[in-house]
Amino acid sequence: MATETELKLAIQTDDVAEFLTHPLLQQATNTRAQQFLLNTYYDTDNALLYQHKIALRVRQKGALWVQTIKGAGQCQAGLHQRHEWETPIDNNQLNFKSFQPEALGGLLTDERIRQQIKPLFTTHFQRTTWQLQNDTGDKLELCLDQGHIAYQHQQSPICEVELELLHGQPIFLYQTALQLIEVVPLMLENASKAQRGYQLMGLQTPVQAVNRPYHTPSDHDEAFLFSYIYQYHIQQIYQNHRAAQQGDEHARVYLSHGFKILNALSNLFPNRDKRYQALQTDIVNITAQLHGIEDLAQLNTLLPYDREQRSAYDALFKSLIYNRFLLNVGHLSAQEPAV
């Protein structure tokens, strides 16, 4: 069993050429490699594996076949972490006997369930890879994936960058992503290819807004309370940004409120905690944009500005300042526990 730790970033097709010339790629420790990957995802008709947060995949890599089980994991600040088990197989047919018993768990040991499992959707993409290493020995694999997801007659494009940790600390993934985003427009991507496949099938559950309980600790000094409140609102923003991207009005209210509180805290206590200074400029600019969007919302009561409001949100979520803020949040989270 291995633990997969990776950061996913969406990239526009028009920006790929610029990405390929990024100075960071010239520091790769290997020659750029390319490979076409064909992946078939399996589940029951009622997506029983998906309901249990299990992904079952067969991948063709040239003349080789590999089957993979990915267990339930977590996605925190854009960082995907989950257990995975891989075994080589002779062809494109599943072979449950070749998996270790711990990979199958209770669900996939049930013969009745196995008989219901069948191919549901596929992903087809060209993968270009580089390996990077920092001065402290942390290593990662940087992948550019271009292709599509296919379900029956439907397709959804794939154009994304993956940073997978090979050795060391996850903070190296964020440091690399922050270098990339300063040159090439990238968006933090929380959905895996498997999740997007289920979404294409109409099985993906919309992300819900999150309004976390707020309890102010007692008997602590001002420095602790500042840090606690700041971290609380950072997490509130992050936990609502996916739902806000999907148009959830409640999530957008929580997200906007969080940025306003962070902006006010930084204005009132500009030198309170140097850990958060990397976020400050982007917080100011994002808050200003959110004020402008809220002005459009007010105009909606008088004029048909709904389309302009949606476009303004889309532009914000795709912007450098917003995605740099999210990556810096991840960078902080990799160094200290969240509240």
Per-residue model confidence as pLDDT tens digits over 33-52: 899 999 999 999 999 999 98
Strand, coil or helix: what is 182? Answer: coil
d(CA 125, CA 147): 4
Cα–Cα distance list, 159 to 14, 120, 146, 181 (Å): 10, 21, 5, 15
Phi, psi (5° rounding) for residue 261?
-65, -45
Does residue 147 contact residue 158 with C-beta atoms inside 8 Å? yes
List of residues 6+ apart from 125 with CB closer than 8 A: 36, 37, 145, 146, 147, 148, 158
- Compute mean pLDDT per 10 residues along the chain, 339 residues long, and list them: 89 96 89 92 93 93 92 78 91 87 81 93 97 94 97 95 95 96 92 92 83 75 82 88 88 92 85 77 92 72 62 91 92 67
Does residue 82 contact residue 100 with C-beta atoms inside 8 Å? no
Residue among 45, 46, 55 nearest 108 (CA): 55
Question: What does the domain layout of the chain look like in residue ranges?
Answer: 2-200, 222-333
pTM: 0.88
Position 140 scores a pLDDT of: 96
Query: Looking at the DSSP assignment, which residues form a beta bridge with residue 146?
Result: 126, 159
Position 305 scores a pLDDT of: 47
Tokens read off for 328: 């810096």
Position 228 scores a pLDDT of: 85
Place of tokens 């602790």: 224
d(CA 58, CA 70): 12
Give the CATH class of 2-200. mainly beta
Does residue 85 contact residue 1 with C-beta atoms inside 8 Å? yes
Position 255 scores a pLDDT of: 93
DSSP symbol at 301? T
Query: Looking at the DSSP assignment, which residues form a beta bridge with residue 42?
Result: 56, 119
Position 339 scores a pLDDT of: 43
Query: Looking at the DSSP assignment, which residues form a beta bridge with residue 56?
Result: 42, 69
Cα–Cα distance list, 48 to 32, 154, 277 (Å): 39, 22, 45
Position 218 scores a pLDDT of: 72
d(CA 78, CA 192): 11
Does residue 54 contact residue 71 with C-beta atoms inside 8 Å? yes
d(CA 248, CA 9): 22
